Structure 1
Amino acid sequence: MRPQQRLTLPLADILSEIVPLLPGEPGLDALDPALSARGVSMSAAEVEPGDLFLGVPGARFHGAAFAEQARANGAVAILTDAAGAALIRENGVDLPLLVSTVSPREFAGKLASRVYGTADLHALTLGITGTNGKTSTAHFLDAIMRQLGLITGLSSTAERRIGDQAVISHLTTPEAPEVHALLGTMIEAGVDAAIIEVSAHALTRHRIDGVSFDVVGFTNLSHDHLDDYGTMDNYLAAKQELFTPEYARRAVVCLDTPAGLTVRDQATVPVTTIGTTGVLTPGIVADWMVTIENENPRFTEFRVDHPALGALRTRIPLIGAHMASNAGLAIAMLAEAGLSLATIGSALAADGQIDAHLPGRLVRVSGESGPTVFVDSGHTPDAIEKSLHAVRQVTAGKVIMISGADGERDPSKREDMGAAAAAGSDLLIITDHHSRRENPGEIRAALIAGARTRTTADHILEVATPEKAIRAAIERAGATDTILWCGLASQDYRDVDGVERPFDVAEESRRALREHGYDA
């Protein structure tokens, strides 16, 4: 998404006072004064006519290697580092070339903000970070504001949307030029609020540079991305950058995990806290409290309390105390943004609930007959544990879990994922998800090794093919049982050997249920 109406700015003005150019290379004064740009892109394939192309180093290739494709697509100039400049000159790409002292990634956000005019959004801007719960909190924020009659813009793992126009997402937070193009489009559409999920990678890779949030929220921290950050301390430190004046004005921090205390104590912006009754460590006091009042297979009722601001009772069309906690965080963030509980409550009372429908988050795909089947996108040990706990609360019979893990993603968490899946289920079926270029058998073996630390071999079933795994689960399930399939629910494909093959976990589950004579 890019704004339709945008300025065409002299390239020297775009780069001025932002980009440090390498000594000995051409400076801004060497540029043709008439050379202008109206867009910024870090992907040669997505360059549009009039773009400044940023050639940045990647995990496998240097973006400058694709400079000729960028030129063919209409780029007017290239900004890259010394390594990229060598590639461009070697390939003889005929475009004005500027060489920065460091990777252009470090100032892509500020450049894109200048091009797309996003320095002042004139809209409430909200950001959410944490290992799990970012997407659900973002969608709860979006739902509440839409129920208040406001126009919203949303950037989440599940989708990007402006008003009712939506597109599928693949990255939690897109690259900086895409973020600012999206924000510029939101401005053009007249949104009242912009909601952005912020990953650790978004912070360390400068994807949200140039964005100023009115309120940011922290959900939790658990085992993930150690292949990138090495330690949990480093992983948390990456997320803590959001809680500084560079990015935010105020913050709401959930204290349900120990990391919340660290974020609260080390934040350099004003902080309000929230916790969940029965989850918050005894002795720790939060400003807001979330209390679960009723759980069933269709919804969760809860109350949020603040000693000075009052209380609000509502419900969500989802199961799980962790989902209610995320909804409570959304309510507290809106209160910090200046909305009263009475205003929020009146909007929710009209519908009887927070009317949020979260793609791939504990979605019930079964009908009234046969076992209950939920699909979920959880792919960390903590997410699996919480989702299993949620379905256990509403299951009279046994819980059957289908689990897999992604290839080329933090292998250190796989055994913990297997252990969490085994501990919370009566039968665990291990299958393949996104194996990518890894050996899927080795991925399954790691999950099984973890599972065997928490249960016996006769409670673990290995079924490599996902289509067969769901059928194996249904064959072993009775009418009072629940099947939970974690890991693929927010995507419509499987990446096998680097090829994305169509696969919809919800539709496959429904198909399997119907084959067994159940409605779905």
Structure 2
Amino acid sequence: MNVRSGFRPAQVAPVSVTELAEHLDAEGYPAQRVGPEDAHVTGIAMDSRKVIDGDLYVGVSGAQHHGADYARVAAASGARAVLTDARGAARLAADGVGLPAIVVTDVRGALGAASSRIYRSDDAAQLYGVTGTNGKTTTTYFMRALLDKTQHTGLIGTIEIRAKERVVPSEFTTPEAPELHALLMSMQQDGISAVAMEVSSHSISYRRIAGLRYHVAGFTNLTQDHLDLHGSMQEYFETKAALFDPQRCDTAVITLNATDEPEHWGEKMARHAAEQGTETITLDLGPVAARACEGEADWTLTELTPHGLGHRFTLRHHDGTEVRSSVGLPGEFNVANAALAALMVLHGSPRQEWGPLLDALAVEPGPFDNAVPGRMEVVSKRPAGIVDFAHNADGLAQALKSVRGDGRTILVFGATGERDVSKRPIMGAVAARGADVIIVTDDDPHHEDPAPIRQQVRAGAIEVQQELTAIGERHIEVLEIAPRAEAIEAAVAMADADDVILVAGRGHETIQDVAGDPVPLDDRVELRRALSHHGWITTPPASTTTGPDDGILNKS
């Protein structure tokens, strides 16, 4: 099941091509109507294979092909018109495609505005969007759980798209603009009034969120990732910062001090949002912060105490208002995710309406006690077997810090192929500083040879291993085992009851991409199988969503 078949709106009022062209003109995308007589459209699609009767087909220029080359296929499936550029219009004419067309210079920019007009998503549910390097998925799950206490809430993110009882696995962290706008209209027709959504840097760069406006947008943190796309940390920051401009969101909730980077990205993000004129709420993480906060924040996390696998905590506003809650997932970084989720939901409502939300936050078990698939998911307790999505240096460091116990920490992880090469030895070094046994294996190699990827990761771990050995600080073991299932089996085989086995990097994913071939692989299944084989007791699975297209494109 894909997004369009799972969440296409039941009814869409037709929009004429002429009216759509006028709308794009008004939105700043000068549009020319060409071709035969006017037509009406009731949907929009970028993929000719997903076109259904009544759609506007979008022909975008690609690296190797132009989408207009497939307009005949789209027309045969029922497309009524085409949105494209001048090159695309020339190809339509050359191919004799007898459909009216709207010609614009910036097709990707106009795509969001066209989708918004066709699906009337301005009238859809309130959007709560979260961006940042790490923590987006958990924060959206937490938000949805809290929002559900007072209204029906949808979810759009890395793991799944969820609207009441309808659930489909995600293909991307953030779907393309036509799917997003269709989703929002479909959710609105289902009676959903709020949507918690992950917003990746890719979705901002590729303008998948064009035409959307967020009621509240939140920022978790910024650490090195996706430099293959952005080129530098400054460009990465600027991409994320675009979400907090006033034309994109009403209220920004910014975590100030999640990292100890010298650039202080949280403070920079808060300044950017405020200078742009966006209402800005700031969060000082207090006892779980990477460093002290510069100046006074609107809210400060205080009174952190262990509670089961998680923590109880208090949020205190500078006017004296206090919010009490708890989180059931391991790791102080999940306290930060819960705190951000709580403040985003609270600041999405007037203060006089906070009562039911405050009650829901204070009760135990509360909205932040439920497990998130593949996010610090506990598979066993003795030895502790944990699966997490940590796939960059900061996420890995945080995960290792959170699982440290009385026994050894045995880490199984790798690095993704065809992604930021520079982070591979850095991740190896992080692993060596936080684990006792490091088993370097394969993540998603994609079309890259997996052996050199493992060697680059292992080199970073070996360098730290040699440093630690030289000063006599502690002994660590660095192994290289592939394929991944064998690495997980080896980790369990060497574990004692007091040890922690952390399998990191893939989390909820169920398909491994090896040279373009989809290989079934679920870390949770493999870890549970190995533990049972060696006689250990496992916990029930947390995930409710798996599927054949789940996971191989989600590190974005």
Partners of 1:299 and 1:339 in 2: how far apart?
30
Residues 468 and 189 of structure 1, relative CA distance in 2, 3 Å threshold: same
Q: 1:78 matched to which residue of 2?
A: 82
Q: Which of 448, 462, 465 lines up with 2:458 in the alignment? A: 448
Correspondence 1:388 to 2:400: yes
Q: Which of 107, 111, 119 lines up with 1:108 in the alignment? A: 111
Instruction: Please state how far the C-alpha of 1:294 moved relative to its aligned partner.
Output: 3.2
Work out whether residues 429 and 460 of structure 1, in 8 Å CA contact, stay in contact via their aligned partners in 2: yes
Work out whether residues 61 and 67 of structure 2, in 8 Å CA contact, stay in contact via their aligned partners in 1: yes
Instruction: Please state how far the C-alpha of 1:345 moved relative to its aligned partner.
Output: 2.8
Work out whether residues 227 and 412 of structure 1, in 8 Å CA contact, stay in contact via their aligned partners in 2: no
Could you state the TM-score of these two structures normalised by the residue count of structure 2?
0.87
- Following superposition of structure 1 onto structure 2, how do residues 203-218 of structure 1 map, counting pairs within 5 Å? 203-218=204-219
Partners of 2:49 and 2:311 in 1: how far apart?
44
Instruction: Please state how far the C-alpha of 1:365 moved relative to its aligned partner.
Output: 0.9
Partners of 1:73 and 1:209 in 2: how far apart?
26
- Note the alpha carbon deviations across 1:384-420, whole angstroms, 9 max, x for none: 111111111xx21111111111112222221211111
Amino acid at match of 2:390: G
Residues 428 and 280 of structure 1, relative CA distance in 2, 3 Å threshold: closer
Partners of 1:405 and 1:297 in 2: how far apart?
32
Q: 2:281 matched to which residue of 1?
A: 272
Q: 1:422 matched to which residue of 2?
A: 432
Partners of 2:495 and 2:142 in 1: how far apart?
32
Q: 2:388 matched to which residue of 1?
A: 376
Instruction: Please state how far the C-alpha of 1:318 moved relative to its aligned partner.
Output: 0.5
Q: 2:503 matched to which residue of 1?
A: 485
Correspondence 1:337 to 2:348: yes
SS in 1 for 2:122: coil
Instruction: Please state how far the C-alpha of 1:85 moved relative to its aligned partner.
Output: 4.0
Partners of 1:196 and 1:63 in 2: how far apart?
28
Instruction: Please state how far the C-alpha of 1:339 moved relative to its aligned partner.
Output: 5.5
Uncovered stretches (5+) of structure 2, i.e. residues with no partner: 1-6, 470-475, 539-556
- Note the alpha carbon deviations across 1:210-254, whole angstroms, 9 max, x for none: 111111111110001111111000010011111111111111100
Instruction: Please state how far the C-alpha of 1:92 moved relative to its aligned partner.
Output: 5.2
Q: 1:462 matched to which residue of 2?
A: 480
Q: 1:432 matched to which residue of 2?
A: 442
Q: Which of 521, 532, 539 lines up with 1:514 in the alignment? A: 532
Q: 2:421 matched to which residue of 1?
A: 411
Q: Which of 124, 133, 136 lines up with 1:134 in the alignment? A: 136
Instruction: Please state how far the C-alpha of 1:60 moved relative to its aligned partner.
Output: 5.1
Q: 2:4 matched to which residue of 1?
A: none
Partners of 2:441 and 2:210 in 1: how far apart?
39
Residues 296 and 417 of structure 1, relative CA distance in 2, 3 Å threshold: farther
Instruction: Please state how far the C-alpha of 1:59 moved relative to its aligned partner.
Output: 4.9
SS in 1 for 2:422: helix
Instruction: Please state how far the C-alpha of 1:310 moved relative to its aligned partner.
Output: 2.0
Partners of 2:362 and 2:64 in 1: how far apart?
51
Instruction: Please state how far the C-alpha of 1:260 moved relative to its aligned partner.
Output: 0.7
SS in 1 for 2:313: strand
SS in 1 for 2:281: strand
Percentage identity across aligned positions?
37
- Note the alpha carbon deviations across 1:24-44, whole angstroms, 9 max, x for none: x994265413x1111011122
Could you state the TM-score of these two structures normalised by the residue count of structure 1?
0.93
- Following superposition of structure 1 onto structure 2, how do residues 496-507 of structure 1 map, counting pairs within 5 Å? 496-507=514-525
Work out whether residues 34 and 100 of structure 2, in 8 Å CA contact, stay in contact via their aligned partners in 1: no
Q: 1:323 matched to which residue of 2?
A: 334
Amino acid at match of 2:81: A
Residues 413 and 26 of structure 1, relative CA distance in 2, 3 Å threshold: closer
- Note the alpha carbon deviations across 1:163-221, whole angstroms, 9 max, x for none: 23211112111111111001101111111212221111222221112111111111110
Partners of 1:180 and 1:356 in 2: how far apart?
29
Correspondence 1:158 to 2:170: no
Residues 498 and 454 of structure 1, relative CA distance in 2, 3 Å threshold: same
Amino acid at match of 1:270: E
SS in 1 for 2:297: coil
Work out whether residues 60 and 67 of structure 2, in 8 Å CA contact, stay in contact via their aligned partners in 1: yes
Partners of 2:350 and 2:403 in 1: how far apart?
33
Correspondence 1:361 to 2:375: yes
- Note the alpha carbon deviations across 1:344-384, whole angstroms, 9 max, x for none: 23123444222433121110011x4x411100111111111
Work out whether residues 126 and 194 of structure 2, in 8 Å CA contact, stay in contact via their aligned partners in 1: yes
Q: 1:244 matched to which residue of 2?
A: 245
SS in 1 for 2:9: coil
SS in 1 for 2:12: coil
Partners of 2:535 and 2:328 in 1: how far apart?
26
Uncovered stretches (5+) of structure 1, i.e. residues with no partner: none
Residues 182 and 463 of structure 1, relative CA distance in 2, 3 Å threshold: same
Correspondence 1:179 to 2:180: yes
Instruction: Please state how far the C-alpha of 1:109 moved relative to its aligned partner.
Output: 0.8
Instruction: Tell me how large the CA RMSD over aligned residues is.
Output: 2.3
SS in 1 for 2:463: coil
- Note the alpha carbon deviations across 1:256-300, whole angstroms, 9 max, x for none: 131011111111202110021232533523221224633467323
Instruction: Please state how far the C-alpha of 1:80 moved relative to its aligned partner.
Output: 1.8
Question: In terms of mean alpha carbon deviation, does 273-282 or 326-335 score higher?
Answer: 273-282
Work out whether residues 24 and 31 of structure 2, in 8 Å CA contact, stay in contact via their aligned partners in 1: no
SS in 1 for 2:448: coil
Partners of 1:379 and 1:220 in 2: how far apart?
15
Instruction: Please state how far the C-alpha of 1:100 moved relative to its aligned partner.
Output: 2.3
Residues 79 and 303 of structure 1, relative CA distance in 2, 3 Å threshold: same
Partners of 1:323 and 1:88 in 2: how far apart?
52
Work out whether residues 295 and 301 of structure 1, in 8 Å CA contact, stay in contact via their aligned partners in 2: yes
Amino acid at match of 1:125: L
Work out whether residues 275 and 325 of structure 1, in 8 Å CA contact, stay in contact via their aligned partners in 2: no
Partners of 1:149 and 1:27 in 2: how far apart?
46
Q: Which of 6, 15, 28 lines up with 2:33 in the alignment? A: 28
Instruction: Please state how far the C-alpha of 1:67 moved relative to its aligned partner.
Output: 2.8
Partners of 2:516 and 2:95 in 1: how far apart?
27
Partners of 2:384 and 2:31 in 1: how far apart?
65
Question: In terms of mean alpha carbon deviation, does 329-338 or 226-235 score higher?
Answer: 329-338
Work out whether residues 46 and 57 of structure 2, in 8 Å CA contact, stay in contact via their aligned partners in 1: yes
Residues 144 and 80 of structure 1, relative CA distance in 2, 3 Å threshold: same
Work out whether residues 12 and 31 of structure 1, in 8 Å CA contact, stay in contact via their aligned partners in 2: no
Question: In terms of mean alpha carbon deviation, does 371-380 or 403-412 score higher?
Answer: 403-412
SS in 2 for 1:119: helix
Partners of 1:260 and 1:491 in 2: how far apart?
29
Correspondence 1:50 to 2:33: no
Q: 2:550 matched to which residue of 1?
A: none
- Following superposition of structure 1 onto structure 2, how do residues 182-261 of structure 1 map, counting pairs within 5 Å? 182-256=183-257, 257=259, 258-261=264-267
Instruction: Please state how far the C-alpha of 1:314 moved relative to its aligned partner.
Output: 2.0
Instruction: Please state how far the C-alpha of 1:313 moved relative to its aligned partner.
Output: 2.5
Aligned pair count reads 510
Partners of 2:413 and 2:94 in 1: how far apart?
48
Partners of 1:61 and 1:326 in 2: how far apart?
41
SS in 1 for 2:464: coil
